[in-house]
Chain A
């Protein structure tokens, strides 16, 4: 067997290359200087060919096409080069690694493009009075720096706050049910929570519009918007808290029960306090999920250019809603103002996101908990699905 393998030239060649310094061991994943040279040479050569093709032979507009074509040609060329030097097996491995690495790092490009573009379009119009004035007396011809966004900031904070006040107790209690109480209903409830997380945001808005705005004859109000946001926030809070509750060591629960505490005492005084940081993370993720929602607000809060601090009466504004309404007017100043609103909104989202990351990176349990061999992390990266995109 060994001789037949050694008789294959590709294996011998690959073997001999690394065998020089130490004849007994070959490190299978070592990336030598020569490998780097092959990689660089393939990149440069494919870039040149594509440039020639792209600029001279097949006229082509736009840089993404060039990059995509370059990446494809590079993979082909790199594969051929490695195949010539190392054999088919190694070539497949290298090409797969290059493709997977390239594609996943490329995701960062649109993210930076979006964040950068928003900052570039919006940040220049930000003035201090944005946080103290409203759009009440600002017309479409006024420059984007005039007026402010106080009415939208107040509306967004109130709507998201009310949504959190309803969905957090309900969501955490549902998570407690899934994790601590259980029973026959556990599986169906989990499926319902999953199904609810897929409810399109416009549908949640329509539902609240029917029951509150039309049937209850309440009219458009910030509260209606908050209820629509609650529907969207609830599944996020539930699933994130459930994952966190599952990380609470079973020994803590058993110790509490063995000491004679009833179940509700165990849940309230042992499980929830242990997981408090994670639950705060869940709440923040839920808020980040809904703070940028626009579609449900179109049909529930309607929008209002002047300040309405009462969420229970009359149309209210919100940052994403106002941004949308300004944007679709299409007038230059209004579009710029829409970007200003979007910039403030994305800053809020970023603050929430970073807060969730910082809190989530801490460990389960706080002071006084015994060290465990491997402490479970609350980091959403370790098992909690991220904030879903607004749908």
Chain B
């Protein structure tokens, strides 16, 4: 899936995590990034079939799925497709697609994983730049889609 517009690409231009002055050739992960309030969320790009306009305000939001309060801002719809079904879920703009090195991906800390109360929260990504660093909560619909 390709988006027509890659918003603010400069934030993600520096993939030189090992400081060897070139883009890393290590294993990478493609994520579709979106927002909900102050949270930055990511989904594996392979699970996102399309980006659509927000034409159905009754469609479920990612915020409701995660138990978060409503957040103002422009909305987009991600169409998630899997072996089970097709799910449309509303997320906050901007929506971008990025490639992160494997080194940026972290498993959930064990105590958090053991007591997590929400589905779909799968992993974390840490982007050191711009400082002081930013956390991306990686979601995965798993077999629900």
A and B associate: no
Binding site for A on B (CB under 8 A): none
